[in-house]
Amino acid sequence: MNEKCRRYVVTVGDKEIFLSPGVIEVLQEYIHRPMSLEELAEKLGLESWEEAYEFIKRVPAWIMWTPVSLWRIRLKEEGCLTE
């Protein structure tokens, strides 16, 4: 990883979740279609709907609403994404 890479991480309990394009895709699916917190927790590998709720509360709104393609560009420019 590049030294100018800013890692966008949300901490839930003892877990740190890197806001990768895959995670952003799941978040956008959550905000654009009916999805329970249980389903969100399952998709993100969290233990319960409570952890999913804490995660949603801690993700900045601007990140949730940023299109995945722009998120990928941002991470590539910062050297955080190599794909």
Distance from C-alpha of 20 to C-alpha of 67, rounded to nearest angstrom = 12
How confident is the model at residue 48, as a pLDDT? Answer: 95
The per-residue pLDDT for range 17-72, each reduced to its tens digit, is 999 899 999 999 999 999 999 999 999 999 999 999 999 999 999 998 889 999 88
What's the count of helices (H) and strands (E) in the chain, helices before strands?
5, 2
For the chain, what are the domain ranges? 9-77
- Overall pTM surpassing 0.75 (yes/no): yes
Q: Is 23 exposed, middle or buried (0-12, 13-18, 19+ CB in 10 A)?
A: buried
Query: CA nearest 8: which of 69, 55, 48?
Result: 55
Q: Which tokens hold the place of 57?
A: 């509360």
